[in-house]
Amino acid sequence: MTPQRMREAAQILGELGNGRMANELMVLAEHTEKGTVHQGALAAVSALKQADAVRDTFLNALQQVKDYEAELERTSTDRVNQRAEVAQLRAEKRISPRPPVRLEDCPVGLFMFGETLAVMTEYATNTTSRQRDAYIVESGEYFWGGVSDPVERENLMVIPCEVSG
């Protein structure tokens, strides 16, 4: 590790609140430039390499958080756009809600659950429970309606939607 990298690492450590380690690193950088490095300093260099690895892990985690936040923002925007599209279709009388029914009794086609637009199919992946497949329009994910039990899912109240040209 070069003295310049040591100083940069010391600055980062100082910013992260570890002033003692930052000071030791600055002293090590000075000794390295003067050529007066001894075994203890070499051990410190090893520790700094580990600190670099920890910093890199931290920066990677921070980037993952930023990516996740961006994905949440995109998803949120998509939901707002979907709600606007559904509202427009309702206003144009192209989607007409029917009376609520249990999911088990929902006809094939579009239905609303809260603000989620989904589609009921005539197919059943799990043939033993006869639970028909339903998917969320926005994401393509399997529709569970916030429950994990198939019986609870079948008893959810949904609003079938009639679609016209």
Between 80 and 5, where is the model more confident?
5
pTM: 0.45
Distance CA 125, CA 114 (A): 24
Give the pLDDT band (50/70/90) at residue 92: low
The predicted-structure confidence for 102-155, as pLDDT tens digits, reads as follows 999 999 989 989 888 899 998 887 666 678 899 998 888 999 999 998 889 999
Beta strands in the chain (DSSP E): 95-97, 101-102, 109-113, 116-120, 134-136, 157-163
Question: How high is the pLDDT of residue 45?
Answer: 64
Q: Is the pLDDT of residue 2 over 90?
A: no
Point out which residues pair with 109 in neighbouring strands: 120
